[in-house]
Chain A
């Protein structure tokens, strides 16, 4: 008994030592000098898009650091328009806010590769492509600042992106400032990578190309506000007739919504997994497998307002196989609203696949 007791005492005196040791990990973390280098993209055949050249990453990092700084002291290019940095906070403070709220999913360089990212589906957005899915603007335009703020305020339902509506307005603007910074930086980095891989250039020429590219990207961000899509016709009343008309259009050969979203809207159409023309799986611009939305859930990632759904149909969803459908409604733009009404009604309807299959328009997937 006595021996055990003494052993217990001996063991006990290590407790404060262990407790102290565990505090060591709580100090401030040193930030890396530069953002993580972008990996060379892989083509559809599984080959690297560019040959890795000796010292390539160092050269790219040098140019990028010159223009954009590092995670600790980020900066916008010298000629950045004022509308891209609205918050009263400095970009370093914005980056610090980003590290508190966003970095564990979106990663230090905005590559969507934070520590939590491997466990999430869908994957966090990689900002470096400069593509944003849920915007109010036309298909090839950047999002407006308001679009990004809206995503922060309401989150993206059905994904792991939560709402940050309790942050104050200036903090939200600060985060948007920094996301734009990372986005422009990522796109410029890609161009610099292409140039370094292909051509023999000295550093000053490389820098010039990067600065030009940054200017043109920033101009696109600045002009996004002029490219907001407003509905061509006012929304008609939500009626049964409107839903019926929307249903006809949904399964029609012109629109082919059902080919991916399925005849009952479950996202299980004949082309939902593999594109029948190419035999390739459906991928988004980030090379991730992507599934058509299951419309029976009533969860709309880009927002549930009628005008949000209108924009998804009118201008498609950027970076995804969801196409721009404007041309299919040339003669009758009001029809877009009928499809919106049908999509809104899907979760509340008992759609019978057999009834749908007997309609003449539903030809491509009869046997499915």
Chain B
């Protein structure tokens, strides 16, 4: 299943997400959370992967049961609200509003030969501003300091979603 050593089986996670798109269980997806932020900033410890997806169905479940079933059939395990791939926790989160926009406008990436997408830094900042926990505020600071930000785009996103950055 994988050429990766034990650790973060990101290529296999992304491959599985691509398969979910291929079989029509999700419309689209992008990598978010810390693993997306790390693309733009220095490495930080993170213990899971967040996959934001646009559901293929309009029911309230967002197709989560079918996604879990499909991944379990591929050997993934379920633990709490995480799916585990070789003990690495992955969350599949139905995107809506700002996160849906972040998926639609995500940046294409090729990771170890797997075509994927990940959130743009401007969306990572906006999402962190919308959540507002201490770790999100730290993420905003880190991305603002270390990533190349399109300030006009960031301003547009923040304005569109009525968000504000914390005062520095």
Pair from one complex: no
- Taking Cβ atoms with an 8 Å cutoff, the residues of B that contact A are none
- Taking Cβ atoms with an 8 Å cutoff, the residues of A that contact B are none
